[in-house]
Amino acid sequence: MSAIVHVGAFGHVHLVGAGPGDPDLLTLRAYRLIAEASIVAYDELVSAAILALIPSSAEKIPVGRRKGTCPNAPSIHPDVLARALAGHDIVRLKGGDPMIFGRGGEEAAELAALRIPFSIVPGISAALGAAASTGIPLTHRDAASAVTFATAQLRGGEMRSLLDRVPKEGTVVLYMGLSTLRELASRLILDNHRDASTPVAVVSHATLPDERTVTGTLETIADDVEREALPAPALVIIGDVVAHRSEPASAASVVRNARATRKSA
Amino acid sequence: MSAIVHVGAFGHVHLVGAGPGDPDLLTLRAYRLIAEASIVAYDELVSAAILALIPSSAEKIPVGRRKGTCPNAPSIHPDVLARALAGHDIVRLKGGDPMIFGRGGEEAAELAALRIPFSIVPGISAALGAAASTGIPLTHRDAASAVTFATAQLRGGEMRSLLDRVPKEGTVVLYMGLSTLRELASRLILDNHRDASTPVAVVSHATLPDERTVTGTLETIADDVEREALPAPALVIIGDVVAHRSEPASAASVVRNARATRKSA
């Protein structure tokens, strides 16, 4: 096994966005870093298809998401830290984009405090992946000139109000909102005065072969999703843009197209 | 020149996000589509470095952004339409991501209406590119649990109020906000009751070799940017996350790292 070791110096940590799941949606830089890595740390939001790209000779460190740890605990995993301090370069893969709900900023600050060199590679955040594969735009001339990404986090068992974090107009995308969808939808109607008939789409496993989308309104969506037994992780897209959906050709028909007559022009 | 021609059928239009400018931030799918294209249409937000990847044998169609056209004019360029109707596959490159301020939804709807098959490839939106290269997170445990992307559009000479499109809390990223920065900043203080001392970063030419960042507050930023003569296109990041910036190792130091001692481990 060949590895880059910095003699008498710290290793370089690459905080790398792995995108929504489809390996074809990795950036060129992310792909190269994975293919050439000798140590890769990853959490459970990184898809199996992307993990399959890690060289068999590389050390793989599953760091999990460490739920239930103290809120002030370091964001960076101790095994990642130990290897960087010992002079090893590390690729830290994160689902989606490191700087949007990925704790990339927190990890970067911890690395900077220890003077461990790092770089950040952006990734296709789940909302962008879901928009492209479903054909639901996030902004639209006639429907939304702004889009807000928010989480549906529970803090100490209680949901933080969306009121101050979500504007009156424009598209709202909720990350990890499936388990709290019923309460979220009613809050948006009651607290944020969003119309009960506002269109909503819930996209499960966006960009993966088993992607599924359920559409409804703020009033119906919790029941719609329950009836369809939609699995997590899923993304919730709320706003008039959902009514402007134009479904792209399916992957199967794209393959058919690629097999179309080739001619010399 | 070899081209894919669908006999008696329409061509396939790929609406492809070209990302923020650095070719390394193209997705694998976008890169392959560009490298194998026989017709590529692009607007002026696509960087020269990415245009250089188009095969020399391919037809290149600069479609511009067609400012000043009627607001109800079709979004898709007539030359793109004509070639798709004639059976040619086309790669339509768009700066950033097609579904965030990229009119991808509008073009998709027009293609769907004509039964022209299309697909959408997401791209790294400018905000994600700028966050990664500057080290300014868009969300942060201690600073923001939501991020809003908005435009600073002028409609009929008057700026649309930001009040309904921007929430009270959380990060705000303004696309194409450089020319209207002074008015925007004062609106955010007066209309949206954002604190005058809220940190702001303006990132010009994000991810490109001549990237520059100016930081200040809502109160000072217009003067700061004027003094530094920052060129467009630029992105405005507003919120406490700006104070959580951790600057990544410069590209130069990353190259130095890559040249570090290679050892057998």
- pLDDT of A227 reads 96
From the number of C-beta atoms within 10 Å of its C-beta (0-12, 13-18, 19+), residue B241 rates as buried
Cα dihedral B5, B9, B15, B21, rounded to 10, equals 10
Q: How many angstroms from the chain centroid is the CA of residue B255?
A: 26
Half-sphere exposure of B6 (CA within 13 A, CB side): 21
Cβ <8 Å between B100 and A147 = yes
Distance between CA atoms of A86 and A6, rounded to whole angstroms? 8
Chain B: closest CA distance from residue A196 (Å): 18
Q: Spell out the SS3 assignment of chain A.
A: CEEEECCCCCCCEEEEECECCCHHHCEHHHHHHHHCCCEEEECCCCCHHHHCCCCCCCEEEECCCCCCCCCCCCCCCHHHHHHHHCCECEEEEECECCCCCCCHHHHHHHHHHCCCCEEEECCCCHHHHHHHHHCCCCCECCCECEEEEEECCEECCEECCCCCCCCCCCEEEEECCCCCHHHHHHHHHHCCCCCCCCEEEEEECCCCCCCEEEEEECCCHHHHHHHHCCCCCEEEEECHHHHHCCCCCCHHHHHHHHCCCEEEC
Polymer length of chain B? 265
pTM of the model: 0.91
- pLDDT of A260 reads 42
- pLDDT of B201 reads 98
pLDDT at A251 > cutoff 60: no
From the number of C-beta atoms within 10 Å of its C-beta (0-12, 13-18, 19+), residue A252 rates as exposed
Cβ <8 Å between A137 and B104 = yes
Token pair 């040619």: residue = B88
Residues from chain B that touch A164, judged by Cβ atoms under 8 A, are 167-170
A4 contact partners, CB below 8 Å, separation of at least 6: A11, A38, A88, A89, B257, B258, B260, B261, B262, B263
Tens of pLDDT, residues A116-141: 999 999 999 999 999 999 999 999 98
Share of chain A above pLDDT 90, in %: 69
Facing A2 at nearest CB: one of B25, B75, B262? B262
Both tokens assigned to B247: 């600057």
Task: Give the chain B residue nearest A72 (alpha carbons).
Answer: B141
Contact B44, B64 (CB under 8 A): yes
Cβ <8 Å between A25 and B28 = yes
The pLDDT-based confidence of A151 (bands split at 50, 70, 90) is: confident
The residue-averaged pLDDT of A145-163 equals 71
Q: Checking DSSP bridges between strand A234-238 and strand A199-204, what pairing results, if any?
A: antiparallel
Amino acid in the structure at residue B232: A
The residue-averaged pLDDT of A211-237 equals 96
Q: Spell out the SS3 assignment of chain B.
A: CEEEECCCCCCCEEEEECECCCHHHCEHHHHHHHHCCCEEEECCCCCHHHHCCCCCCCEEEECCCCCCCCCCCCCCCHHHHHHHHCCECEEEEECECCCCCCCHHHHHHHHHHCCCCEEEECCCCHHHHHHHHHCCCCCECCCECEEEEEECCEECCEECCCCCCCCCCCEEEEECCCCCHHHHHHHHHHCCCCCCCCEEEEEECCCCCCCEEEEEECCCHHHHHHHHCCCCCEEEEECHHHHHCCCCCCHHHHHHHHCCCEEEC
Cβ <8 Å between A244 and B105 = yes
Report which of A162, A170, A173 is spatially closest to residue A240, judged by C-alpha positions: A170
A113-117, A137-141, A256-260: the lowest-pLDDT one: A256-260
Report which of A153, A171, A166, A162 is spatially closest to residue A245, judged by C-alpha positions: A171
Cβ <8 Å between B151 and A146 = yes
Task: Give the chain A residue nearest B166 (alpha carbons).
Answer: A167
For the four alpha carbons of A165, A169, A174 and A179, in that order, the dihedral sign comes to positive
Contact A105, B140 (CB under 8 A): yes
Residues from chain B that touch A263, judged by Cβ atoms under 8 A, are 2-5
Amino acid in the structure at residue A120: I
Chain B: closest CA distance from residue A134 (Å): 9
Polymer length of chain A? 265
- Each residue's pLDDT, cut to its tens digit, for chain B (265 residues) gives 455 555 569 999 999 999 999 999 999 999 999 999 999 999 988 999 999 999 999 999 999 765 555 666 788 999 999 999 999 999 999 999 999 999 999 999 999 999 999 999 999 999 999 999 999 999 998 888 899 999 876 555 455 566 677 787 899 999 988 888 998 899 889 888 899 999 999 999 999 999 999 999 999 999 999 999 999 999 999 999 999 999 998 644 444 444 443 443 3
Tens of pLDDT, residues A191-210: 888 999 999 999 999 999 99
Residues from chain B that touch A2, judged by Cβ atoms under 8 A, are 262-265
* Higher pLDDT among residues B199 and A165, named by residue: B199
The residue-averaged pLDDT of A233-245 equals 96
